[in-house]
Amino acid sequence: MMKKTLIIIATLCAAAALLLSCSGDKNNTLTRAEKAEGWQLLFNGKDMTGWRDYNGDALTNGWAVVDGCIQAPGDGSDGSGYIVTDRKFENFELVWDWKLTHGGNSGMLYHVVESPAFKVPYVTGPEYQLIDNEGWEEVNAPSKLEEWQKLGVDYAMHLPDYSKMNVNPVGEWNTSKIVFDNGHVEHWLNGELILEFEAWTPEWFALKNSGKWAGAPEYGLAHEGVICLQDHGDPASFRNIKILELPRKAGQQVSLFNGEDLTGWEPFGCGKWSVDAEGNLRIQNGDEREYGYLGTREYYKDFDLTVEFKQVSNGNSGLFFHSFIEGYNKVNGWQCEVAPKGSDTGGIYESYGRGWLIQIPDEKEEILKEGDWNTLRLRVEGPHVQTWLNGEPMADIEDELIGAVTGRIMLQIHDGNDITVLWRNFSLTTL
């Protein structure tokens, strides 16, 4: 009887063990319901597929998979140790589990822009701060954290509701979530909404330009970008990283210029910018006679823009798109040419290095009305770029590099003398 009982127990144990082994580890997997909703895993629990160095093509900086978790080695610094997703994301819910060591410091960034012009990701991408507040201050005494550096903040921008923050002890797992929905942003921690704000409002820009990011002109402007994990010199672990993409709200009418002042625009380089008595936006040479740019303070990717311009004198200008500023007055991006007759107004020029992508036929030069008002239309949808001048088609190209990036719309003042151009009646529709 005892032998039979032992056999039954052994059989039940074997069945239980088989059941457990078949069930597998539930981490780094999606439920049937999550798959149906459209959730995607950003980490498969086995290897680093889908991740690479920031501004790199491969993974070389020590991040690895340990016991089903992505682990930061703790060798990073302010200027190194970042990994990013292969893919870009725009609107989303992003969820992940994380744990730190005593005094640990890390972060989750999004809408990060990659370019040789940006040496670190945080000058473009907002960050959900991950840090052991008390432990960090113990390890780094007598230094103290500023409020904008603490756990859960929108780094150097928005503070959480501390009364809603329930943090598990160091060494235990916590779950965080970022929601980015067409400018509406939420930070969650262990099931509680701890912070929310609206991006790109006048209040948001005032906050951006008054603190740490005043010297980072492209911070937080991108509407899409890669997702980034930070190694800030402390080991950190991540698992269950998953994302649900949310739809873009297209068809929005945007007022770029109010006809009264330069609200919504930012000047760079050398130029004189003003609004005249007739409500026209006037751009002129600066005293140094160098390049200058007046850029929208927001980024626009897919859009249909119509605007009128009048070349008062010289007329060497341009309408830049998918562009950003590097340094004082170096622009990275593409230009719909606006120039004197004979100089390809309506053509597309690239400032990255390829130069002219398309120039206009000589017989179309007469479409430009020098000294009078002209209507310029620029439509950008993915890699497809089209231009019209006074209702006549001028350029029509497909370019994958244009489709892969986003950026500001900018009005150029060329270097040289005696340049004055007027602009009015901006009409932009997002696509």
Q: Is residue 420 part of a domain?
A: yes
Domain that holds residue 272: 253-430
235 and 263 co-located in one domain: no
Tell me whether strands 92-100 and 236-245 are parallel, antiparallel or unpaired. antiparallel
265 and 236 co-located in one domain: no
Q: Is residue 190 part of a domain?
A: yes
Cα–Cα dist 227/234, whole Å: 19
And the tokens for 107? 């972060």
- How much is the average pLDDT of 276-303? 94
209 and 354 co-located in one domain: no
223 and 309 co-located in one domain: no
Given 186, 213, 245, the domain boundary residue is 245
Q: Is residue 21 part of a domain?
A: no
Confidence (pLDDT) at 287 = 85
226 and 267 co-located in one domain: no
If pLDDT is split at 50, 70 and 90, which confidence band does 197 have? very high
If pLDDT is split at 50, 70 and 90, which confidence band does 78 have? confident
- How much is the average pLDDT of 205-218? 95
- How much is the average pLDDT of 181-195? 98
- How much is the average pLDDT of 339-364? 95
- How much is the average pLDDT of 94-101? 97
The count of structural domains within the chain is 2
Q: Is residue 13 part of a domain?
A: no
Q: Which amino acid is at 68?
A: G
Quick check: 220 and 112 in contact, CB under 8 A? no
pLDDT greater than 50 at residue 23: no
Q: Which of 53, 119, 49 lies closest to 84 in space, CA to CA?
A: 53
Average pLDDT score over the chain? 92
Confidence (pLDDT) at 151 = 98
Contacts 24+ apart (CB under 8 A), 23-31: 25/68, 27/68, 27/97, 27/239, 27/240, 28/68, 28/239, 28/240, 30/242
- Report which secondary-structure segment, H or E, holds 381: strand 373-381
183 and 121 co-located in one domain: yes
37 and 96 co-located in one domain: yes
**Paired strand residues for 257:** none
| Structure-derived torsion over alpha carbons of residues 209, 215, 219, 221, reported in degrees to the nearest 10 | 60
Q: CA 327, 328, 331: angle at the middle one, nearest 5?
A: 70
DSSP 12-51: HHHHHHHHHHHH---TT---HHHHHHT-EES--SSS-TTE
- The 10 Å Cβ neighbour count of residue 196 is 15
CATH code: domain of residue 334: 2.60.120.560
pLDDT in tens, 61-74: 899 999 999 999 99
Cα–Cα dist 400/384, whole Å: 8
Confidence (pLDDT) at 103 = 95
Cα 19 to Cα 15, 128, 169, distances in angstroms: 6, 39, 32
pLDDT greater than 60 at residue 194: yes
Confidence (pLDDT) at 20 = 30
pLDDT in tens, 165-178: 999 999 999 999 99
Quick check: 59 and 72 in contact, CB under 8 A? no
Q: Is residue 7 part of a domain?
A: no
Percent of all residues in the chain with a pLDDT value above 70, rounded to a whole number = 94
Cα–Cα dist 111/221, whole Å: 8
Quick check: 98 and 170 in contact, CB under 8 A? no
289 and 190 co-located in one domain: no
Question: 39 phi and psi, to 5 degrees?
Answer: -65, 145
If pLDDT is split at 50, 70 and 90, which confidence band does 6 have? very low
pTM (predicted TM-score): 0.89
85 and 221 co-located in one domain: yes
Question: 29 phi and psi, to 5 degrees?
Answer: -135, 165
pLDDT greater than 50 at residue 19: no
